[in-house]
Structure 1
Amino acid sequence: MDEKYDVVVLGTGLKECILSGLLSVDGLKVLHMDRNDYYGGESTSLNLNQLWKRLRGDDKPPESLGPSKEYNVDMIPKFMMANGALVRILIRTNVTQYLNFKAVDGSFVYNKKKIYKVPANDVEALKSTLMGLFEKRRARKFFIYIQDYEENDPKSHEGLDLNKITARELISKYGLEDDTVDFLGHALALHKDDSYLDEPAMNTVKRMKLYAESLARFQSGSPYIYPLYGLGELPQGFARLSAVYGGTYMLNKPECKVEFDNNGKAYGVTSEGETAKCKKLVCDPSYLPDKVQKVGRVARAICIMSHPIPDTNDSHSVQLILPQKQLGRKSDMYLFCCSYSHNVAPKGKYIAFVSAEAETDNPETELKPGIDLLGPVDETFFDIYDRYEPINKPEEDNCFISTSYDSTTHFESTVQDVLTMYRKITGKELNLSVDLSAASAASEE
């Protein structure tokens, strides 16, 4: 371990593993360490016994739930956009060879105490029961504008500069009702709150186009895909990638103390009396608590069930978004469900997660609107964790710290953090232009 490295990475969470893989592919000499004896950090997947021990103490789970080893319960449950940045990174790095994906059955939105399928294009808008007849026509016109919009083709802009007008101004041009705006902004563009309405419309239009393109990829009921056996496969896939390109891995390394010189620059990591020297350090917030600040808390309910979520067309896997306005909250609530069809539970069992940014001192009560949609539940676990963001200046201390995972049940914000860190570490943008047909080969329909 007493060697010199370009980068030492601490923690094997998904973000750290993606960066470790990308930096190794770039030809950098990488050492990746973790104080735990398993991959995944906060974003690991647990079997039933591990879940029970972590959230219930030493209890033994009831036999009625089935074999422990057949469970893979994500601690940070998220789906991937089929056309999104994470899938592009997987293809670009060929990590797809280590994973199998399956399309997610359904994408739904909560509106006026009911669950609706999310309409994603002009055809679905006309069929949707979410809107009345006249609203459907207005929504159809808006969807056609989004579908036809091309950044490099001024003819498709209809005289609008989306970098100058706000999302609110664009939407008002079509006279859409508040409930329609709710599902467009939160279930299609995947904004976490309503602040996007006063920001340039371009970002929202790009997000909606990504949703529609992802939906078209696999012709399934949603734009999302998810790995068989859960997300725990992802960090290990990128760890293998790093190893193939010369990266060194050390798990179960106690302490992992970051060493700083007199100028406050990190120059290495010491563990068990040995110091690995490095030019740059990458880590999750837990390794440098003095260089991060708490910015919130995520509350989550993990529910084991013997049936799909009611009113979701018997979908075995589903994302359901509860927009903030529908619940009188400041931010959205997310419902994620997967099952034995993705090999994360025994046959006949479903795992549902209800996630939200904690806004009160009683997060279990906050999650009730989401839990009430699940129907009968075999077991419920509550988990809450603090969210941190870095407050250091990497150019001054050589430390590149990831932000904690948010409450969303999709990977878009996670990947943006990775891309930003990659740019700061390397000084260049990651090229995400890839042949997306390669993903189809890696995906089980």
Structure 2
Amino acid sequence: MNEEYDVIVLGTGLTECILSGIMSVKGKKVLHMDRNSYYGAESASITPLEELYKRFSLPGSPPESMGKGRDWNVDLIPKFLMANGQLVRMLLITQVTRYLDFKVIEGSFVYKKGSIYKVPSTETEALASSLMGLFEKRRFRKFLVYIANFDENDPKTLEGVDPKKTTMQAVYDKFSLGQDVIDFTGHALALYRTDDYLTQPCLDTINRIKLYSESLARYGKSPYLYPLYGLGELPQGFARLSAIYGGTYMLNKPIEEIVMENGKVVGVKSEGEIARCKQLICDPSYVMDKVTKVGQVIRVICIMSHPIKNTSDANSCQIIIPQNQVNRKHDIYVCMISYAHNVAAQGKYVAIVSTTVETSDPEREIKPALDLLEPVEQKFVSISDQYGPVDLGAESQVFISRTYDATTHFETTCDDIKDIYKRMTGTDFDFAEMERKKNDIFGDAADQ
């Protein structure tokens, strides 16, 4: 413990583990500690099932109908990976993929007037979809072709749209798209949580729709991937990466104090010893005086013995309920996985509903989603506060991650990682630089 490190990381949530891996690859000396005895912090996967019952203070033990407790691996925070998204790029470049196996999520659905429909994201699907009438389909198809060809550096493809000035609403109007189509495009393809994006310049939205289409093109069923044995495998994969580069890990370490001198971090005190550092990365729970509450998320884990109705009996899927459909300001998400992903006993399904809390009765807010899942054998409800840093670390050199939001993909988490990286190093996160460094590790030395 009594050593000098470049970076100390507190908490083994995914954000912290990825940053720890990246800093180790950059040649920094990293010490990574967690007060818990398991990886993942609040983004852990819980096993066995008995542990989940305990965690949610449910009386008794799981019924025998739930199968063996050890067959369960339940994510506390459900998320999928976009096949062409930032996290998959990080996994591929760092070769953390060699520790993980992924499956493609079987379908992506959107909620409209009480029913769910497959999200059309190719021209063929758009023409076959029962979400839209015939003329609407043609207009939507034209819109998709326009997006696919859109290149901000080639004026011919812009058709008079200024990527940095024209609003997204104006682009929808250009193709005369109706409200329902705008709803599923903005929320199920571009994956916005609210409608604020409509008045912003259109470039970001167009890039998001492109990401969705490109991700979908890689595997065909949906744009999402999910690791076998649950998301808890991800932090462990990046922890291994850090260890290959000489990072030191200590679980079960109580953190007594973050030692500051003249407003700047100099170390961390644990069990009477001080490990010194130049920079510190941690999740909000370690520095409650440096964060502010930015909202609340409700998540309900539901165990079922059947797939969700009207999903063609998919073993896994995502359903997005756009806020307009249920008179809300934020979307509601449903992630479903099952025994096919080694996270549940044979024949069992786990669906997790999440949304940003808007009222004093959060459970009522997610009723439209729970209605889609009936009958549910057991549910586990959590309402967690979300925090963001008030101290960005310029003076203190303490860099605090954001609490995971209600979205069902990792793009916002990756944005947070890139933001912290930039504040720590003063430069933008560069995928290409990681790519070059890859040869150092995975030459012959890695296999010995």
Pairwise TM-score range, normalised by the shorter structure: over 0.9
Give SS of 1:281's match: strand
Distance in 2, matches of 1:13 and 1:25, equals: 18
Give the structure 1 partner of residue 376 of structure 2.
377
In 2, Cα distance between equivalents of 1:73 and 1:209: 31
1:89 partner SS: helix
8 Å Cα contact 1:8/1:31 also seen in 2: yes
2:255, 2:58 → 1: CA distance?
24
Task: Report the 3-state secondary structure (helix = DSSP H, G, I; strand = E; otherwise coil) of the residue aligned with 1:56.
Answer: coil
2:372 partner SS:
coil
Matched length: 433
Q: CA deviation at 1:256?
A: 4.1
1:202-246 C-alpha deviation (Å, 9 max, x unpaired): 000000000000000012x21000000000000000000000001
Give the partner amino acid of 2:277: C
Shift of 1:168: 0.8
Q: CA deviation at 1:250?
A: 0.6
Note the alpha carbon deviations across 1:270-327, whole angstroms, 9 max, x for none. 0011111111110000000000001111111111001111011111110100000001
- The structural deviation recorded for 1:258 is 0.5
SS at 1:372's partner residue? helix
Match of 2:25 in 1: 25
Q: Report how far residue 157 of structure 1 moved.
A: 1.3
Q: Is this contact kept in 2: 1:258–1:266, CA < 8 A?
A: yes
What is aligned with 2:441? Answer: none
Map of 2:367 onto structure 1? 368
Paired amino acid for 1:77: P
Question: Per-residue displacement from partner, 1:102-130 (whole Å, max 9, x unpaired)?
Answer: 10000000011110100112221111110
Aligned twin of 2:239: 239
Q: Distance in 1 between matches of 2:333 and 2:8?
A: 34
How far, CA to CA, are the matches of 1:273 and 1:30 in structure 2? Answer: 20
Contact in 2 for aligned 1:298/1:384 (Cα 8 Å) = yes
**Aligned partner of 2:296: which letter?**
R
The alpha-carbon deviation at position 364 of structure 1 amounts to 1.3
TM-score under structure 1 length normalisation: 0.96
Question: Does the 8 Å CA contact 2:284/2:387 hold for their aligned counterparts?
Answer: yes
The amino acid of 1:43's aligned partner reads: S
Q: What pairs up with 1:319-358 in 2 under 5 angstroms? A: 319-358=318-357
Corresponding residue SS for 1:396: coil
Aligned mates of 1:265, 1:271 — CA distance in 2: 18
Q: Is the 8 A contact 2:392 2:400 kept in 1?
A: no
AA at the equivalent of 2:62: P
Give TM-score, length-normalised by structure 2: 0.95
Structure 1: 4+ residue segments shifted above 4 A: none
> Which amino acid in the other structure matches residue 51 of structure 1?
L
Distance in 2, Cα, partners of 1:148 & 1:295: 38
Distance, in Å, in 1 between the alignment partners of 2:295 and 2:392 is: 21
Counterpart secondary structure, 1:51:
helix
Letter in 2 for 1:288: V
Is the Cα–Cα contact under 8 Å of residues 164 and 203 in structure 2 kept in the other structure? yes
Any gaps of 5 or more consecutive residues in structure 1? 436-445
DSSP 3-state at the match of 1:414:
helix
> Who is 1:89 aligned against?
90
Q: How does 1:18-417 map to 2 (within 5 A)?
A: 18-47=18-47, 48-57=49-58, 59-219=60-220, 221-261=221-261, 263-417=262-416
Q: Which residue of 1 aligns with 2:11?
A: 11
Q: 2:124 and 2:204 mapped to 1: Cα distance?
A: 23
Q: What is the letter of the counterpart of residue 307 of structure 2?
A: P
Distance of aligned partners of 1:77 and 1:172 in 2 relative to their CA distance in 1, 3 Å threshold: same
- Contact 2:323 2:329 survives alignment (8 Å): yes
C-alpha deviation, 1:57, in angstroms: 4.3
Contact 1:35 1:256 survives alignment (8 Å) = no
Letter in 2 for 1:46: I
Q: Matches of 1:256 and 1:154 in 2, distance apart?
A: 58
AA matched with 2:227: P
CA contact (8 A) 2:194 2:331 kept: yes
Q: How many Å separate the matches in 2 of 1:146 and 1:116?
A: 22
Q: Shift in Å at residue 376 of structure 1?
A: 1.0
- Contact conserved, 2:152 with 2:163, CA < 8 A, in 1? no
CA contact (8 A) 1:334 1:355 kept: yes
1:310-360 deviations in whole A, cap 9, x for unaligned? 011111110100000001011000001000111111110000011011111
| Corresponding residue for residue 445 of structure 2 | none
Match of 2:394, SS state, is: helix
| More moved, 58-67 vs 304-313 | 58-67
How big is each residue's C-alpha offset from its partner over 1:239-266, in whole Å with a ceiling of 9 and x where there is no partner?
00000001000110113410110x2111
Structure 2 residue aligned with 1:428: 427
Cα distance, 1:170 vs. partner? 1.0
> Residues of 1 paired with 2:73 and 2:214: CA distance?
29
Deviation at 1:429, TM superposition (A): 2.0
Could you tell me how far apart the structure 1 residues matched to 2:251 and 2:153 are? 48
Q: Gaps spanning 5+ residues in structure 2: where?
A: 436-448
**Seq. identity, %:** 58
Matched residue, 1:442: none
> What letter matches 2:182 in structure 1?
V
Which one-letter code corresponds to 2:309 in the other structure? Answer: P
SS at match of 2:191: coil
Give a deviation string over 1:160-192, Cα, whole Å, max 9, x none.
Answer: 111111111111111100010000000000001
User: What SS does the aligned partner of 2:6 have?
Assistant: strand
1:56 maps to amino acid: S
* C-alpha distance in 2 between matches for 1:163 and 1:95: 36
Contact 1:7–1:281 (8 Å) recurs in 2:
yes
Deviation at 1:58, TM superposition (A): 5.3
Residues 1:419 and 2:418 are matched in the alignment: yes
Q: 1:57 to 1:305 in 2, by over 3 A?
A: closer
CA distance in 1, matches of 2:22, 2:149: 34
Q: Is the 8 A contact 1:282 1:399 kept in 2?
A: yes
8 Å CA contact 1:121, 1:144 repeated in 2: no
Comparing 415-424 with 207-216, greater Cα deviation is found at: 415-424
